[in-house]
């Protein structure tokens, strides 16, 4: 692929590479400050006396392991369909008996060592296997060949690269396999995904052993911090991205705006206005002209006590409008989200051009939607709600001792179900569910506490704490209560104020009825966030 003699010479001159190749309990752990974990030079609590890692002897390096071993596998790709190669690699690993239990975020990174080649996608997964380390290595090489990797120059372009980063609590050093390799310390494209798979709590025994393998008193957190840690993310060297079709979306560059298009007769703000195809298409064009990045089409009302439609009834409303909107030239470069909790509707919507699924139930009303979305390979918005629209505002579902902590815990449970169903973390968006199973004070606490929700999730999964957050508070009742505005349309100014606070506290996507106001809110808030 690289033809110049000078490039080849550089490739051959690079030092020999490495093979360096987890699973943590999803239960909450005692608090360890996330910021300290990622940016402080102090020792991370819990690592002063790291547990000792085992060294493998030759007689256990081949064959199957008697028990499942917890592993971390790194993924990289920089030629061809990079996202498609990752998806296929995950399927083939699953088919090989490797159970994937957690995903890191997705990173686009600049090539290192040999820089005259395309940018890489990098990530990592945790899981379990009964394969011995060398059998696992052999299986990963088979998967690489199946995806199209051939013998090439070290550090050169490749459609897929699968490396064992960690294998149980063992340190492995043989002629063909080193786990972990000493050069892991210098590689941001390896460390960023690896750290995502850990929690900021210090209480998980396996994670303690992994940290001890880092040869650093503060574990991999300190190794990552020495390279620059979170300050590196968003630079030309490494960006955290989301896979949307064959595109990569960097939601950290600016706040995205999702315009609401309700096809229902009874939605609280604009019910009945856009049921006809012509009216819906005109509204979609208006939202796009005002600057919407995403159009969110809903054919099922989820207001309190709404009557639930069947999947077929929902499709009867949705399909004609979706078919018409996907054909308009204004949709070029825009995303279409479909607001549904039915797997059947999700499948049909993506078949007809939708690029994202927005599920207010987080998989609780139709569990089949999780496996359906995993197979579809589209982003999935999972929202916090207790019960269903008919019961979510019951007294029982409105009880919280600490709303941010409990929303974080319950939303993380939804995220874990999605991951275990096969939806990678790099396709998940979190919605704290403003107005769903919440009183007015709960909504306000969540808007102010988005950072604490991220931090709470970071105790068990730093990767989960980094995923984009969608805020859907547009024109909602609690704003009317605060401002004494009975008509939802008169709540746009209040929506602007609440959304601005949300962005300043970490929201990445605004779901709004008035897109013009939403775009201006995002632009001003983003500019304020950039001020040092």
Active-site residue numbers?
A: 476, 511
CB neighbourhood size of 531 (10 A): 5
Q: What share of the chain is helix, strand, coil (3-state, %, to 5)?
A: 40, 20, 40
Here the tokens at position 465 are 């704490």
Alpha carbon distance 238, 97 (integer Å): 32
Here the tokens at position 284 are 């979609």
The alpha carbon torsion through 146, 147, 152, 156 (nearest 10 deg) reads: -160
The answer to whether 238 and 491 are in contact (CB under 8 A) is no
Alpha carbon distance 344, 209 (integer Å): 44
Could you give the C-alpha distances from 242 to 53, 113, 181, 331, in angstroms and in order?
A: 35, 26, 28, 20
3-state secondary structure of 121: strand
User: How would you classify residue 364: left for phi > 0, otherwise alpha for psi between -120 and 50, otherwise beta?
Assistant: alpha
Consecutive H or E run containing 233? none
Alpha carbon distance 442, 154 (integer Å): 54
Alpha carbon distance 311, 466 (integer Å): 33
Consecutive H or E run containing 523? helix 515-530
3-state secondary structure of 389: coil
The alpha carbon torsion through 408, 412, 414, 417 (nearest 10 deg) reads: -170
The alpha carbon torsion through 50, 52, 55, 56 (nearest 10 deg) reads: -100
Alpha carbon distance 123, 75 (integer Å): 5
Alpha carbon distance 199, 211 (integer Å): 11
The answer to whether 426 and 241 are in contact (CB under 8 A) is yes
Here the tokens at position 197 are 């798979």
Consecutive H or E run containing 97? none
Here the tokens at position 291 are 């600057």
């Amino acid at each position: 692929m690289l033809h110049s003699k000078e490039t080849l010479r550089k490739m051959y001159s690079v030092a020999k590479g490495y093979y360096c190749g987890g699973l943590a309990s999803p239960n909450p752990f005692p608090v360890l400050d996330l910021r300290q974990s990622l940016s402080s030079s102090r020792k991370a609590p819990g690592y002063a006396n790291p547990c000792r890692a085992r060294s493998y002897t030759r007689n256990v390096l081949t064959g199957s392991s008697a028990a499942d071993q917890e592993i971390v596998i790194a993924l990289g790709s920089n030629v061809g369909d990079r996202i498609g190669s990752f998806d296929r690699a995950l399927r083939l690993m699953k088919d090989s008996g490797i159970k994937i239990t957690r995903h890191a975020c997705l990173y686009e990174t600049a090539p290192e060592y040999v820089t005259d080649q395309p940018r890489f996608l990098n990530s990592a997964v945790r899981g379990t296997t009964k394969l011995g380390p060398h059998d696992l290595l052999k299986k990963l090489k088979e998967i690489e060949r199946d995806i199209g990797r051939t013998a090439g120059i070290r550090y050169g372009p490749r459609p897929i690269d699968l490396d064992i980063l960690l294998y149980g609590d063992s340190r492995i050093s043989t002629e063909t396999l080193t786990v972990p390799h000493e050069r892991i310390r210098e590689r941001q494209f390896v460390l960023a995904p690896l750290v995502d798979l850990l929690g900021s709590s210090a209480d998980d025994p396996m994670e303690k052993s992994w940290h001890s393998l880092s040869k650093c008193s503060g574990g991999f957190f300190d190794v990552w911090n020495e390279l620059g840690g979170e300050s590196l993310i968003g630079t030309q060297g490494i960006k955290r991205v989301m896979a949307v079709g064959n595109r990569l979306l960097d939601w950290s560059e600016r706040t995205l705006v999702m315009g609401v298009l309700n096809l229902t007769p009874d939605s609280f703000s604009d019910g009945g206005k856009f049921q006809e195809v012509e009216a819906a298409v005109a509204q979609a064009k208006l939202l796009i002209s005002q600057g919407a990045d995403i159009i969110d089409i809903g054919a099922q009302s989820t207001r309190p006590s709404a009557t639930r439609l069947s999947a077929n009834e929902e499709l009867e409303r949705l399909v004609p409008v979706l078919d018409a909107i996907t054909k308009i030239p204004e949709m070029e470069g825009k995303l279409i989200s479909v607001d549904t909790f039915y797997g059947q509707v999700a499948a049909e919507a993506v078949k007809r051009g939708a690029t994202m699924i927005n599920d207010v139930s987080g998989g609780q009303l139709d569990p089949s939607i999780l496996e359906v979305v995993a197979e579809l390979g589209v982003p999935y918005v999972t929202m916090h709600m207790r019960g269903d629209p008919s019961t979510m505002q019951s007294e029982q579902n409105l009880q919280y001792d600490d709303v941010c902590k409990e929303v974080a815990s319950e939303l993380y449970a939804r995220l874990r179900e999605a991951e275990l169903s096969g939806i990678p973390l790099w396709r998940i968006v979190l919605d704290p569910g403003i107005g769903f199973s919440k009183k007015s004070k709960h909504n306000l606490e969540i808007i102010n506490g988005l950072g604490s929700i991220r931090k709470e999730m970071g105790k068990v999964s730093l990767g989960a704490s980094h995923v984009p957050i969608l805020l859907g508070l547009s024109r909602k009742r609690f704003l009317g209560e605060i401002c004494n505005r009975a008509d939802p349309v008169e709540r746009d100014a209040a929506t602007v104020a609440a959304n601005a606070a949300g962005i300043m506290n970490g929201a990445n996507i605004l779901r709004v009825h008035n897109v013009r106001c939403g775009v201006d809110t995002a632009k001003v808030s983003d500019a304020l966030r950039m001020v040092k």
